[in-house]
Chains A and B, each alone.
Chain A
Amino acid sequence: MGKLEGKVAVITASTRSIGRAIAEIYLSEGAKVVVSGRSAEKGEQALAEMDAGENAHFIACDAVNQSEVEALIDGTVEHFGKLDIVVLNAGGIMGAAPVAEMTDEVWNHALDINLNHTFWGMRKALAHMIPQESGRIIAMSSMEGKLAKATLSNYTSNKHAINGLVKVAAHEVGTLGITVNAILPGLVLTDMFYESMPATAETMGVTLEEAADMFTQPAAIKRPNTVEEVAAVALMLSRDEARNITGCLFPVDGGTMPY
């Protein structure tokens, strides 16, 4: 008997890395999961690799696009009949720069893929969860939701904002059987890291390895976190037994954030 037997989940940006690890642990605990991402090709590949038959389904979604995020939530309900768990995992940045040089394009992209995507997905999910008086919403924040790194104003501001949004939503639906939490991972060596960090490191004037150290050295564990460590927390927060854990900014950062 799995811990999520009978539950339906949707996870943004889940063909790879953290989102994929969450999809896999949910499936292994008996949930039905909608996997999502921009690329239909990567979606097909993920489904083939996970080999979960009809319990996994792919819906393409570019998280910077409001109508696609909303259609993803509705599409999950259409496909599996209901919605119990939403993980708003998509995020990232197009580039890094000091605020004085931050372009509108880079700033607005970050606002859409991080904060607005979380807001759009949450609002639409609540429309389904409030009538059924149950639900689990998990937003993927970051340790940068409490800390700050020079040249990452776009990322940092968005993750701080997600933390605020999570707390407010938790209080709005706290007596309706719905929990809203954020997970705050430390550095995880995901595809996103290898895609966006080389440019960020260059902006910071350090090598890729030095950039990684900059994130892991302040941690107690002196190493990056893993996708499995993040997925284990997502599973715990998604269980029926976690009904009284809400508005929580759950750290998975090896002791980097002191508060």
Chain B
Amino acid sequence: MGELDGRVACVTGGTRGIGRAIAEAFLAEGAKVVINGRSPEKGEQAISEIEAGENLHFISGDVTDQAVCEGLVDQTVEHFGKIDIMVNNAGGGGDAAPLVDMSDEIWNFVLNWNLNHPMWCMRRALKYMIPQEWGRIINISSMYGKTVIPTNSHYVTTKHGLNGLTKVVAHEVGAMGITVNALCPGGILTDVMNTDGRVAAEALGMEFQEFLDMMAAPSAIKRLNEVEDVSLVAVLLASEAGAGISGSLINVDGGQVPY
């Protein structure tokens, strides 16, 4: 008997990293899961590695595209008959630079990736969740949704924006059986970190390892977080017992952000 028996979930950026861990944790608790990612190849690989049979389905698409986000939600409902849990996990940075040198191109890309994608997916998912009076929306924010790192105005600003969006929507649907929360993880060595983190380290004039150390040092645990830390809390929020938690920005950062 799983905590998510009978539930249908959709996880953006679900082939690797945090999204993959959440998908696996949801499957282990009995949910049916759609994972999304840009690369059909990585999707197929994830499907074959996770080995969840018909309970797992891959839909490819780039969530920086509005039509892809809305189609993803609709296709989840077409495939599994409904949508109960929407995890807006895709996101990242890249081309880190001081604001004065920040290009329109990367600014707009990150705006779509980190803020507009959750907005598009959430708005679409609510069309299904409001009539059924049950839903769980989980936005994967970041400790940088509460704090700051130079050269990452695009990332920090969009994660702060996502935290604000989370709180507003929570209040709009709070009496309808739908919860909306954000998880704010500390540094985790995911594939995104391995690419965008290296770029950010370079922009800060640091070695990558120094950059990782810089992210772990202010924590209580003095080490990076792990993807399973985030999926543990995601399962709780998605479960029946999570009904009383909404509009919360929950730190999963080893004690780093003090508020």
Which A residues are closer than 8 A to B by beta carbons? 167, 170-171, 173-175, 186, 219-223, 225-226, 228-229, 231-233, 236, 239, 241-259
Contact = CB atoms under 8 A, between A and B. Distances in A.
Chain A: interface secondary structure? loop
Given A174-B255, A244-B225, A247-B220, A236 B174 contact: no
Nearest to A259: B259
A252 B222 CA distance: 27
Contact of A221 (B225, B226, B232, B246): B246
11 contacts: A171-B255, A228-B241, A232-B236, A241-B228, A244-B226, A244-B229, A246-B255, A247-B220, A254-B174, A258-B167, A259-B249
B248 interface: yes
Contacts of A246: 220-221, 254-255
B153 interface: no
B66 interface: no
A35 B63 CA distance: 50
A252 B237 CA distance: 10
Contacts of A243: 221
A17 to B, nearest CB: 15
Nearest to B222: A175
B174 A229 contact: no
B255 A251 contact: no
Given A222-B174, A254-B245, A258-B167, A174 B254 contact: yes
A173 B220 CA distance: 7
A255 B180 CA distance: 9
B171 interface: yes
A220 B226 contact: no
A244 B246 contact: no
Interface residues of B, number: 38
The 7 closest A-B pairs by CB, nearest first: A247-B255, A255-B247, A220-B174, A174-B220, A232-B241, A229-B244, A255-B246
Given A244-B252, A245-B254, A250-B250, A219 B174 contact: yes
B243 interface: yes
B247 to A, nearest CB: 3
Contact of A255 (B219, B229, B248): B248
B26 to A, nearest CB: 15
Contacts of B225: 244
Contact of A225 (B220, B239, B244): B244
Given A247-B251, A248-B250, 12 more contacts: A167-B258, A174-B222, A174-B255, A175-B222, A221-B175, A221-B244, A233-B236, A244-B254, A246-B220, A252-B245, A257-B248, A258-B247
A255 B249 CA distance: 10
A240 to B, nearest CB: 10
Given A167-B258, A220-B170, A247-B258, A229 B241 contact: yes
A175 B254 CA distance: 10
Contacts of B232: 236, 239, 241-242, 245
B242 interface: yes
A222 B175 contact: yes
Interface string B127-153: 000000000000000000000000000
